[in-house]
Amino acid sequence: MEETYLMNYPGVRKKILAGGSGPLPHFPPGTKLVFHFQTLLDNFERTVVDDSRLAGRPAEIFVGKMFKMEVWETLLMSMRIGEVAEFWCDATQHTGLYPIVSKGMRLIAQGKDPLEGQRHMCGMGNLFHYHSTGFPDLDELMKTPQPLIFIMELLQVGDPMSYHRESWMMEKDEKLQMVPLLHMQGNALVKRREFREAASKYKEAVLLLKTVQSREMPGDIDYINLGRMIVPLELNYCQCMLELEEYYEVIEHTNELLEKHKCVKGYYKRAKAHAAVWNEKEACRDFNMVARLDATLASLVNREMRALSERLKEKYWEEKEAYWNKLERKEIKNEEEEVENNRNQEDSESPTGKSKGEVGEEKSEAAPEGYKEEALPEATGNKEDPSPSEINKAEGKDWQQMLRLVMLLQNEGNFLIKEKCFEDASKKFKEAIEYVDVLQNMVDQKAEDWGSLEKVRLPLTLNLSQCMLELSQYQRVVELNNKLLERHKNFKAVYQRARAHAALCNEDEARRDFDMVEKLDPNLKPFIRQELKKLAEAMRTMHTCQNKTYWDTTQEKWGSGGSKAKAAGRRRKCSQKATEE
């Protein structure tokens, strides 16, 4: 058949090599075209550049989807199914981008990503950036553009609705029509408890809506409405992830959702995910937000909080038991080693001829600076001799074991405080403080580790003092904090001592400490005022029980003069006379 030019398309000549079957197909946008092609140079040898049959699979393009070689759509749309035709295309108008298209198809045939290593720019920009396609024949075509011959065989023309279309192939209206269908499919899969498949449906619907939303102006009514359509789909996706125990996925998606939309279900699902991964603080925060936003869910929130508390308690005791078992095994092993070493020493003498027990044992573990492993009285130097309880604490344990025990006892005490078991908590803190005493007796007071241990003692003493307050042992609280404040200027210690003095009706001492707390932290002023009111009420109650009048209490406090100012004046006069004499 003679070669002819395609009508209304300059720079292209067509020659039919084998006729196709049937009429010319209809090619609406989105039509899938499956074809084989062969690319030849327009020279005497007709050198083959590419051949899809050698790659083992036909090529595919979709009509109207901006394929880089736009001329190929025109060529294929002029053919019937089964037709084989040869097209000559001019270099000036049609074949300039062919090296880029060919590079991508060659990489795909090799099983590689056609965009691998490219920067975010157009194909020509990447080409100029890297100066090469990676294929010498294509580089030559880039340097000297020339006409090309395409031999094409149209294999199949697919109906746009006969296959699953990717989102990039859909128009805006098609995407919006797909969303409710995907939503319904996801709901049906959830009813069948196929959560993984349902999650993929919801995620696909969300991606479609976000693609459409990205083309709208933020703040416009269409943008806002699309955002509202995304919310239920995101929540359904998160519910599926909860069922699949993908908790961090839920946290990530709900964080993003709650930045834009404050919804009760979002907080609830995030709270459930935090609770599942033991994030107690975050879970409680979200559960409280749920109860604040919807008061009708308060009972549900309380039930979830109780369940979380029970799970945390079980986890705590499981970890404690595992730790103690491990520690006990280590102690038994150390005791066995020590017995074996003693037996070896009894059976042999030292190389210098000294009797057994005179050769010092090597340390099994490196101790920190300042620590000594001799007997406690020699190690403490100018310190007091250790008490019998401290000696019992130190027996069979090295300094590392005692440090671990201090941390463990502190954690146990903190947990028991949360459970309001103050008696048990105080025992834990007392035991931890005893271990700290033992450790401090094992180290030089001028060493850095002694100061570190003192920092460990501070929170333990404060927590013990808090337990004593809750147990109404106020005199013990005063003694603890008096001793603590000799070494540390801590406003918590002052505040606890003030409360204890107030409970004991030591008015002057309580007011002195409350004034000091207010100076150290002015933000506590409202609490101080409230405590002072309680103190005044307690003092009035005490005076009433003692049948004392206001005049009796004033004279008792300030003397026969009657007031604070007069009493202060008398004291000044007495001091002046003393100085004159």
Residue 316 lies in a domain: no
Instruction: CATH number of the domain at 23, please.
Output: 3.10.50.40
pLDDT of 506 strictly over 60: yes
**Residues 6 or more apart whose Cβ sits within 8 Å of residue 550:** none
Residues 77 and 190 in one domain: no
Which residue, 270, 286, 311, sits at the end of a domain?
311
pLDDT digits (tens, 9 = 90+) for 402-437: 778 888 888 888 888 888 888 888 888 888 888 888
Q: Provide the pLDDT confidence category of residue 360 given band limits of 50, 70 and 90.
A: very low
**Structure-model confidence comparison of residues 66 and 365, the more confident one:** 66
Q: Is 566 helix (H, G, I), strand (E, B) or coil?
A: helix
**Tokens 């349902």, residue?**
198
Which residue, 311, 339, 373, sits at the end of a domain?
311
Cα–Cα distance for residue pair 448/354, rounded to 1 Å: 37
Residue 363 lies in a domain: no
Percent of the chain with pLDDT over 90: 15
Residue 337 lies in a domain: no
Cα–Cα distance for residue pair 374/382, rounded to 1 Å: 15
Q: Provide the pLDDT confidence category of residue 352 given band limits of 50, 70 and 90.
A: very low
User: Which tokens sit at 204?
Assistant: 């696909």
Q: What is the 3-state secondary structure (H, E, C) of 318-372?
A: HHHHHHHHHHHHHHHHHHHHHHHHHHHHHHCCCCCCCCCCCCCCCCCCCCCCCEC
Residues 151 and 250 in one domain: no
Tell me which of 60-64, 151-155, 239-243, 305-309 is least confident.
Answer: 60-64
Cα–Cα distance for residue pair 81/77, rounded to 1 Å: 10
Residues 202 and 153 in one domain: no
Residue 140 lies in a domain: yes
- The gap from C-alpha 90 to its chain's centroid, in whole angstroms, comes to 59
Residues 154 and 269 in one domain: no
Residues 422 and 530 in one domain: yes
Residue 493 lies in a domain: yes
pLDDT score at 328: 54
pLDDT of 194 strictly over 90: yes
Q: Provide the pLDDT confidence category of residue 39 given band limits of 50, 70 and 90.
A: very high
Which helix (DSSP H) or strand (DSSP E) does residue 87 occupy? strand 84-89
pLDDT of 300 strictly over 80: yes
Which residue, 265, 283, 311, sits at the end of a domain?
311
Average pLDDT, the chain: 76
Q: Provide the pLDDT confidence category of residue 382 given band limits of 50, 70 and 90.
A: very low
pLDDT of 27 strictly over 80: yes
Residues 247 and 305 in one domain: yes
The residues that bridge with 15 in the sheet, in sequence order, are: 86
Domain that holds residue 476: 399-552
Q: Provide the pLDDT confidence category of residue 355 given band limits of 50, 70 and 90.
A: very low
pLDDT of 120 strictly over 70: no
Residues 141 and 222 in one domain: no
Instruction: CATH number of the domain at 472, please.
Output: 1.25.40.10
pLDDT digits (tens, 9 = 90+) for 526-568: 778 888 888 888 777 777 776 666 556 666 655 555 555 554 5
How many domains does one find in the chain?
3
**Structure-model confidence comparison of residues 508 and 446, the more confident one:** 508
Intra-chain end-to-end CA distance of the chain, in Å: 141
Residues 245 and 102 in one domain: no
Residues 307 and 434 in one domain: no
Residue 206 lies in a domain: yes
Most confident of 338-352, 385-399, 471-485: 471-485
Q: How far is CA 347 from CA 108, 338, 340, 459, in A?
A: 78, 14, 11, 49
Residues 473 and 411 in one domain: yes
Q: Is 188 helix (H, G, I), strand (E, B) or coil?
A: helix
pLDDT score at 151: 93
Residue 405 lies in a domain: yes
Residues 146 and 176 in one domain: no
Residues 39 and 142 in one domain: yes
Contact 441, 383 (CB under 8 A): yes
**Residues 6 or more apart whose Cβ sits within 8 Å of residue 33:** 27, 60, 61, 62, 63, 73, 76, 154, 156, 157, 158
Residue 51 lies in a domain: yes
